[in-house]
Structure 1
Amino acid sequence: MKGQITLEGKPKRMAVLDYGLFQVHANGRIIGICGYVVEMDSGDVVLIDSGFPPKYAQDAAAATDEDDLGSFGRVLSVTPDNSVSAQLSLLGLKKSDVTLMIQSHTHIDHVGELDAFPGVPILIAAAERALPRPLYWSGKQPMTWPDAQYHLVDADMTLAQGFDVLLCPGHAPGQLAFMIDLPDSGPILLTSDAISRADEIGERFAGSWEEAQAIFHGDRLMQRARDRDALVIFGHSPEDWPTQRKAPDWYT
């Protein structure tokens, strides 16, 4: 369905989930795979992204072969501890606590457990949901859209007071980013893959799905962060990931 969805209350706290490590062949870059949980003071629990498909924790080599992912890079570490369930449990949460899923975009390292939350509505860009299947990886599209109530984003929107969803196509047709206002930490910009790492800005987003849009939205996101004096958490920053605050720790 298309239509606005809003949540009651304000963001109470936010956590970064650790979905594993991946190495890009072309440059040797080691990147963290992350998702986010935003807990609202109303009790709603919002999950943003779900990492690699579970088969990567079972046999990463076989899964890589099946998906032809080896042409791009290799999984360094995706274990059961990097699953959605395990990461939520670090925060004292379980899957049944999730009341809304948000899909930042539908690449393989973000969409793995899209179908693992029956009955939970999904917020996703209209441009992603319009695809016959999730993007997944390099022409491989084994996943189908789960039966769910979809709320489609076709412009920047306010999901709740202090929780903005920003439509930033470029890396993917329906890439989303998020500005979260927290009581103590203040504003935090979660760029997701709209800006995967700080150097991507200077590189002018070379190799993106649509470079001109990626440049435009990367620039506007960073301007928004400057205007709000926001902490910026990039989608796959090799510099930041080793020291990044992650579950079980919260930003409050």
Structure 2
Amino acid sequence: MTLLRGHPKRLYLLDFGLFRVHSNGREIGICGYLIQTDRNENILVDSGFPAKYAADPKGASAEDGLDSFGDVLECTPANLPEAQLAQIGLGADDLDLFVLTHTHIDHVGGIADFPDVPMLLSQAERDLPRPLYWGEVQPFEWPDRTYLTIDQDIRIGPGITVLMAPGHTPGQIALQVDLPNTGGVLLTSDAISRPAEIEQGFDSAPDPVQATHSARRLMDLAEEQDMMVVYGHCPQQWQQLRRAPAFYD
């Protein structure tokens, strides 16, 4: 499946907000990505919380039951996809592809945004009756849009590979982006939220065995190719990463 013609030239980290977990006090960044190619193609990866969280974080958390898990510390209109893209000079018409790594609440919020842009996700995730969202709460229907589904690792363009990494969810995916100066970058998404998860055996994952297998495969790949690894929700790394409008190239 070749969807893109250009090679990656820039990788932007999009800041979709900040969340604190009750049980351990971890403050985790809610991130997405914008990959830009040398043919001026733009690939959005994930979309953060639903827009209602930017209007009323406490009310939205109570409505969804997310407040039983933690607190939304930061989610404003500036943390929504449209605003994050605007700060790097992009709008909806500039997007060529929308990649959804999985359907949890902090990634799927903009699933109906940019409806004219094809969405790529795993077949296992798309086969779910509804996006997973949070716990027993599943308010979203699958919106009417073009879906491109995959069930194996696939190179979608020169220097961009989508990697199957189930375990955290049935259809979790990760991405490898090969940049001209930084080199290979592995975006694990929640396949590996933070390095300690591997040692802990992904004990909170729905499928710990599969999650561990996926994580080890990703880390082996990163080691073999000497890639920079960007974890899904690592508090320490979050503070060190460049965020848009800064970029990796």
| Fold-level similarity (TM above 0.5) | yes
Identity %: 50
2:236 is paired with a residue of what secondary structure?
coil
Q: Which residue is equivalent to 2:209?
A: 212
Q: Which residue is equivalent to 1:197?
A: 194
Q: Which residue is equivalent to 1:109?
A: 106
Q: 1:63 aligns with which of 60, 63, 84?
A: 60
- The whole-number CA distance in structure 2 between the counterparts of 1:104 and 1:182 is 20
Deviation at 1:57, TM superposition (A): 0.6
Q: Which residue is equivalent to 1:119?
A: 116
Superposition pairs of residues 160-171 of structure 1, within 5 angstroms: 160-171=157-168
Residues 99, 235 of structure 1: alpha-carbon distance in 2 compared, 3 angstrom cutoff: same
The normalised TM-score by structure 2 is 0.98
Deviation at 1:101, TM superposition (A): 0.3
Q: What amino acid maps onto 1:76 in structure 2? A: L
Deviation at 1:125, TM superposition (A): 0.5
Q: 1:225 aligns with which of 214, 222, 239?
A: 222
Structure 1: where are the runs of 5+ without partners? Answer: none
Deviation at 1:242, TM superposition (A): 1.4
Spell out, residue by residue over 1:200-242, the C-alpha distance to the aligned partner (whole angstroms, 9 max, x if none): 1111111101000100010010010001100000000011111
Over aligned residues, Cα RMSD in angstroms?
Answer: 0.9
How many residues get paired?
A: 249
Deviation at 1:6, TM superposition (A): 2.2
Deviation at 1:5, TM superposition (A): 4.7
Q: 2:231 aligns with which of 231, 234, 252?
A: 234
Q: Which residue is equivalent to 2:13?
A: 16
The normalised TM-score by structure 1 is 0.97
Deviation at 1:95, TM superposition (A): 2.1
- The whole-number CA distance in structure 2 between the counterparts of 1:236 and 1:83 is 18
- The whole-number CA distance in structure 1 between the counterparts of 2:236 and 2:209 is 25
8 Å contact kept, 1:5–1:151: no
- The whole-number CA distance in structure 2 between the counterparts of 1:202 and 1:247 is 31
Deviation at 1:243, TM superposition (A): 1.9
Spell out, residue by residue over 1:127-157, the C-alpha distance to the aligned partner (whole angstroms, 9 max, x if none): 1100111000001111111111111110111
